Amino acid sequence: MTHFEKAPAKINLSLDVLGKRNDGYHDVEMIMTTVDLADRIELNTIQEDRIEVSLWSRYVPNDERNLAYKAAKAFKTKYNITKGVHIKIEKVIPVSAGLGGGSTDAAAVLRGLNKLWEMNIPTAELAALGATLGSDIPFCVYGSTGIAKGYGEIIEPLPSPPPFWVVLAKPDIGVSTRTIFQRVKMDEIIHPNTEGVIEALYNKNFAMLCEMIGNSLEPITISIHPEVQRIKEKMMLAGARGVLMSGSGPTVYGLVEQESKAQRIYNSMKGFCEEVYLVRLIG
């Protein structure tokens, strides 16, 4: 038995840090939407009770440290499954980029095993299982567009943004989310206008959305990696309307309405930045 599952990347339209919890995590409020840059997951049942992961990436482990492996293990343990699974991951999403690459792979494994083994588990239950593994996984289980609260485990759906193009530019650095959160000082946090982003989504108002997007972690990442600021400035200069760092970075995205303009911005970023992608919104 084989099942294929698409694992799309996410971008943050807003990311707010509300406070530090007793367990060391932070309470967040994040509006995310999925883009058409996706890893591909192939799941095959094996009769032996084990989990195998195969992928070609010098940055991602293929053993029990891999989030997709952890997701399969959590799924098998929770539902007492003695069959095994071979997980093949075709990586397209850049690693440690703020685009949820590891989280979306784990979410795709949860969704995929549910279908492969015909378990009929509700999405909310899969998302709750994902929350035990990582704070972006519950959103990635649902996909589309939504707001994540708590440490990421509470998901509420939101209307999809108006259709537009997204230029993604990632400098040749990886950023550890944990490192960025360790540098959060609550009295210095700049809070984005989350309500404004929600209103723009309900009104399908592109101009308002570009005005309202914001990310509390952006100044922290820029203080360590000033090249993120340079990419932002270059992208604004090239004509992108809404420009923001996604997640804990370092990927910067630009929102563009017209395809021809998006193509021009993509071309001008190509000579300036290691990895550049031109994608559509699917959220």
The catalytic site residues sit at: 10, 136
**Residue 2 CB burial class (10 angstroms; 0-12, 13-18, ≥19):** exposed
**Encoded amino acid at 222, one letter:** I
C-alpha–C-alpha distance, residues 11 and 93, integer Å? 12
Query: What SS3 state is found at 256?
Result: strand
**Encoded amino acid at 215, one letter:** N
Answer whether 28's CB lies under 8 Å from 19's CB. no
Residues 6+ apart with CB under 8 A from 144: 33, 34, 157, 160, 282, 283
Residues 6+ apart with CB under 8 A from 208: 196, 199, 200
Answer whether 201's CB lies under 8 Å from 159's CB. yes
